[in-house]
Amino acid sequence: MKLLRYGPPGSERPGLLDMEGCIRDLSGVTPDVAGATLTPEGLKALQALDIDQLPIVEGTPRLGPCVGAVGKFICIGLNYSDHAAESGLTVPAEPVIFNKWTSAICGPHDDIEMPRDATKLDWEVELGVVIGKPGRYIDEADALDHVAGYCVINDVSERAFQMDRGGTWDKGKGCDTFGPIGPWLVTTDEAPAPTDMRLWLEVDGRRYQDGTTANMVFSVQTLVAYVSRFMSLQSGDVISTGTPAGVGLGQKPPVYLEVGQSIRLGIDGLGEQRQRVVATV
């Protein structure tokens, strides 16, 4: 299934994308694409629905983040060796964990705001993993059983905040609009294998990133199991699994986003995002 949320910011309704590309309204079935709906039992109930009997949503409504009420937005750094090299950093011996604040979450096609005092606004296409079955101290062999599905994430970053201002990476990762998620959550039964998904990103039509999850340092199952050693994972938590080479920081010389530029990114089988960079009001 391709689950989604549509409507104005803060008032999104649950839906799914049918085989013809039409949005079907799920609000008569579930309150949101969140929490218990994403558990194995919740997804099984949705899979049993007769999709043709669900109301069709007319027009082209705004798509919101494909997961609602996200409790934790967990990110993994330097998880592709080529990206570590372009950043001038060594491949870590264990996964690097940092966070985006949930207030950074926005829709897949919403504008990205250039923060005040920003000078090094950057992009990162990433595979998002959405937790379905809760757990802690998860065995790696069982880790994929805890995954509800996958989605596209743009890990928008302000490198000066992240690297030049002291402290942890988080201050350059969690600004408002720095977490576009979607367009939809593709459940594991329909998604491509997480070991071989192609990721790509373009700025103003120029392709900067073109990679594959086959080059991850730590696999999805390794990451889920590893993260669960340090925190419990709940239904609807999101793990952003790192980015391949081609970020602005890694260009020679570095290239950063400017107000007015457009970003297009995607993962084969999971959909595309489009954003425009705007000034913060």
pLDDT digits (tens, 9 = 90+) for 194-232: 999 999 999 999 999 999 999 999 999 999 999 999 999
3-state secondary structure of 112: strand
pLDDT tens for residues 97-152? 999 999 999 999 999 999 999 999 999 999 999 999 999 999 999 999 999 999 99
In this predicted structure, the answer to whether residue 234 has a pLDDT above a threshold of 80 is yes
Q: What is the mean pLDDT of residues 38-58?
A: 97
In this predicted structure, the answer to whether residue 62 has a pLDDT above a threshold of 90 is yes
Q: What is the pLDDT of residue 146?
A: 98
Mean pLDDT of the chain: 96
Q: What is the pLDDT of residue 48?
A: 97
Task: Spell out the residues 6+ positions from residue 57 whose beta carbon is closer than 8 angstroms to its own.
Answer: 6, 15, 22, 23, 24, 25
Percentage with pLDDT > 90 across the chain: 93
Task: Spell out the residues 6+ positions from residue 193 whose beta carbon is closer than 8 angstroms to its own.
Answer: none
**Separation between Cα atoms, residue 233 and residue 227, nearest integer Å:** 8
**Cα–Cα distances in Å, from 4 out to 14, 43, 63?**
6, 13, 7
In this predicted structure, the answer to whether residue 89 has a pLDDT above a threshold of 80 is no
The answer to pTM > 0.95 is yes
Q: How far, in whole angstroms, is CA 126 from its chain's centroid?
A: 6
Name the phi and psi angles at 143, rounded to 5.
-60, -40
Q: How many residues are present in the chain?
A: 281
Q: What is the pLDDT of residue 210?
A: 97
In this predicted structure, the answer to whether residue 257 has a pLDDT above a threshold of 80 is yes
Q: What is the pLDDT of residue 248?
A: 97
Q: What is the pLDDT of residue 82?
A: 82
| 236 exposure class (CB count in 10 Å sphere: 0-12, 13-18, 19+) | buried
Q: What is the pLDDT of residue 80?
A: 92
Q: What is the pLDDT of residue 162?
A: 95
In this predicted structure, the answer to whether residue 75 has a pLDDT above a threshold of 90 is yes
Task: Spell out the residues 6+ positions from residue 90 whose beta carbon is closer than 8 angstroms to its own.
Answer: 84
Q: What is the pLDDT of residue 186?
A: 98
Q: Which domains does the chain have, with CATH numbers?
A: 68-279 (3.90.850.10)
Q: What is the pLDDT of residue 281?
A: 84
**Cα–Cα distances in Å, from 156 out to 53, 57, 242?**
39, 30, 12
Lowest model confidence (mean pLDDT) among 15-29, 77-91, 240-254: 77-91
